[in-house]
Amino acid sequence: MATTPIRVLVVHSSAELYGSDRSLLDFVQHRDPAMQITVALPGPGVLVSELEAAGATVIVGNVCKIQRGMLSPVGMVKVLISAYRAIRFMGAVHRRAGFDLVYSNTVAIMGGALCAKLWGVPHIWHVREILRGSRLLTNGFQHLVARMSRTVVCNSAHTLDWIRLPGSNTPYQVVWNGFDLPVSEGDAQAERARLGANPQDVLFMLVGRINAWKGQKLLVEAFAKLQASCPVPMRLAIVGSAPPDQLHYETELQQFVAASGQADRITLVPYRDDISLIWQAADVVVVPSTEPEPFGRVAIEAMGYCKPVIAAAHGGLVEIVEDGQTGCLFEPRNVEALTAAMRALAVDPGARQRFGAAGRARQLARFTVEAYAKRINTIVKAATAEQRAH
């Protein structure tokens, strides 16, 4: 007997290849064979071709993406207009495809939840953010997500703590992201040279968006302090770009580096899609986020490449990095604590090797794509089966 297809509409907030984008791609590439995936995106980008290569249908249009500027009286009018356009856009596709389930891959979009409610199909909301701010804002998101979802998936226990509505009967599940090493390997020494690092240099690396809270300036400040007090030769590479509407953060970071006195030892690298080479080149990876990371995918990627990780001790990072075993956790926003952690690994190559090996073992045991995709597949199939049983 032929398996009844499960027609899934996935609604996502960007077409880039950062953390949540890569995790979406992991699910699509490892979906159950019975699933027919359509992905709705707000615009074109590198993710489109990757999804299509994995066998998904991609549609581009309004998904009612929520942005900070919308959280005002005028902004709410824009939300209503955007919601109407999203319902029309995705509704036209639904009339042709007949979706069985809607899966929203971020809390920053409303279109998927609204369409699922109108169509009478299950909605899974995958929460990948911790939106700190007013208690009113948090409470609003808690009620919205709980009441508009068949199941809520969270990328860490810390994200769950933020989004869970007390007393709600909605099921919540924590599913950690996964990572698998690519098959091919590049020339790590050649990449180090492109980043300005000599073979004897300890190369510290930060990979991630340039924004207000990823901690790039904190790391530059700590690196400058370390350079002034540590005899070990070292370099710092900061890899990533700002969102198109926040390019001022790149300008500010460039100015901050120039004023640090260490511009000749710091390399700023725009977003790279060949990130494997970056990981191979690094000696130590730093995740100094000044606000809690909902998860911290860069940490598991670095561990996958046997790199020790220095991470701020808040958010999902404390579920990934074992202090003194796979890396170092430091007090968030404390430049002295970050400097001390960097010094400890700069002067001790043995610790770097031990932490890197232990990190790889932990990544393989807890943070694989197979484990991640299996959990998501199970949740989607269970919600669909429950709907069909009624």
DSSP state letters, 104-142: ESSTTB-HHHHHHHHHT--EEEEE-----S-HHHHHHHH
pLDDT one digit per residue (tens) for the chain, 390 residues? 457 899 999 999 999 988 899 999 999 999 999 999 999 999 999 999 999 999 999 999 999 998 765 566 677 788 899 999 999 999 999 999 999 999 999 999 999 999 999 999 999 999 999 987 778 888 989 999 999 999 999 999 999 999 999 999 999 999 999 999 987 778 899 999 999 999 999 999 999 999 999 999 999 999 999 999 999 999 999 999 998 889 999 999 999 999 999 999 999 999 888 889 999 999 999 999 999 999 999 999 999 999 999 999 999 999 999 999 999 999 999 999 999 999 999 999 999 999 999 999 999 999 999 999 999 999 999 999 988 887
Cβ-contact 67, 42 below 8 angstroms: no
Q: How far is CA 235 from CA 142, 170, 244, 333, 349, in A?
A: 43, 48, 28, 21, 15
Q: Is residue 41 part of a domain?
A: yes
Q: What's phi and psi for 323, nearest 5 deg?
A: -60, 125
The reported pLDDT for the residue numbered 79 is 86
Q: Are residues 43 and 169 in the same domain?
A: yes
Per the structure, how many domains does the chain have? 2
Q: Is residue 28 part of a domain?
A: yes
CA distance 12 to 26: 14
Identity of residue 340: A
Q: Are residues 287 and 358 in the same domain?
A: yes
Instruction: Find the CATH number of the domain harbouring 110.
Output: 3.40.50.2000
The reported pLDDT for the residue numbered 1 is 45
The reported pLDDT for the residue numbered 70 is 58
Q: Are residues 294 and 340 in the same domain?
A: yes
Q: Are residues 259 and 212 in the same domain?
A: yes
Q: Are residues 213 and 335 in the same domain?
A: yes
Residue-range definition of the domain harbouring residue 17: 6-178+368-389
Predicted structure pTM score: 0.93
Q: Are residues 215 and 149 in the same domain?
A: no
Identity of residue 85: R
The reported pLDDT for the residue numbered 90 is 98
Q: Are residues 70 and 167 in the same domain?
A: yes
The reported pLDDT for the residue numbered 78 is 85
Q: Which two tokens stand for residue 194?
A: 């492109």
Q: Are residues 317 and 231 in the same domain?
A: yes
CA distance 134 to 21: 27
In DSSP notation, 273-289 reads S-HHHHHHH-SEEEE--
CA distance 179 to 304: 7
